[in-house]
Amino acid sequence: MDTRIIKRISPIRARRSRAFTVDPIFRSRLAGYDLRRLGASRDTIYLLDAALCIRGFNSEYERFARRNGGRSLMRHYGLGAAVLDGFTAFYAAHYRDVFRRCLDERRPYSKVHVSSSPRAFRRYRETIEPLREGLGLLVSHRLVETMVRSEAGSFDPLVHLSPDGLILQCCHCHRIRNHRLKGRWDWLPDETDDSRFGVSHGLCPQCLNTYYPNLETVEL
């Protein structure tokens, strides 16, 4: 390969935005934070004020929003937008509670959450850090595991069907229970898209811990 071409391409890639966009009124509340580091982070990072409106975000947040909804999405997820308006009812209620608790108790929050679609599986570490004096929250999502459809395992009726012949699928992350390995749930989009078998819905331990931390676990 011609290295001169690489040298010409690299500076263009490096010019991709590394900025941390912040509402000017909010900037003073970020004293002590390294905005260059936040801006350059590969994590998706955004800032909320105490009313849960977006007051800042890094370039990865912008890229994520555009990948998931095009440019128009930034009108709804840009500066000043109420973050919960972008969530479905369940997640809005969940995050209202989580954000409020972090603000009121000024205690950080960190959980793993799983997101899957028929095309991809992703596991994120979500961290919420209260700003000093309860003035807002710094929210970040770090991608810790990703898998595309071709990397998913294969369905085995002996492993993935319950004794009564049903698939048990997590209603949040859509993985299905592996009945051979305790606590394990597998992402099998080929099977769950259009299953030959009946499907019942439940919660995997991960989603139970993330979304219903106050519920007692019932061993199935």
Positive or negative torsion for Cα 89, 96, 145, 60: positive
Q: Tell me how far, at minimum, the Cβ of 79 lies from Zn ion, in Å.
A: 33
Binding site for Zn ion (CB under 5 A): 170, 172-173, 204, 207
**Shortest CB 210 distance to Zn ion, Å:** 8
Nearer to Zn ion, 55 or 172 (CB): 172
Q: Which is nearer to Zn ion, 52 or 170 (CB)?
A: 170
* 8 Å CB contact between 138 and 47: yes
141 beta partners: 44, 126
Q: Which is nearer to Zn ion, 115 or 127 (CB)?
A: 115
CB of 189 to Zn ion, least distance (A): 14
User: What sections of 89-213 are H helices per DSSP?
Assistant: 89-105, 157-160, 189-193, 205-211
* Spatial distance between the Cα atoms of 21 and 187, rounded to a whole number of angstroms: 36
CB 186 → Zn ion: shortest distance, Å?
11
Q: Which is nearer to Zn ion, 123 or 172 (CB)?
A: 172
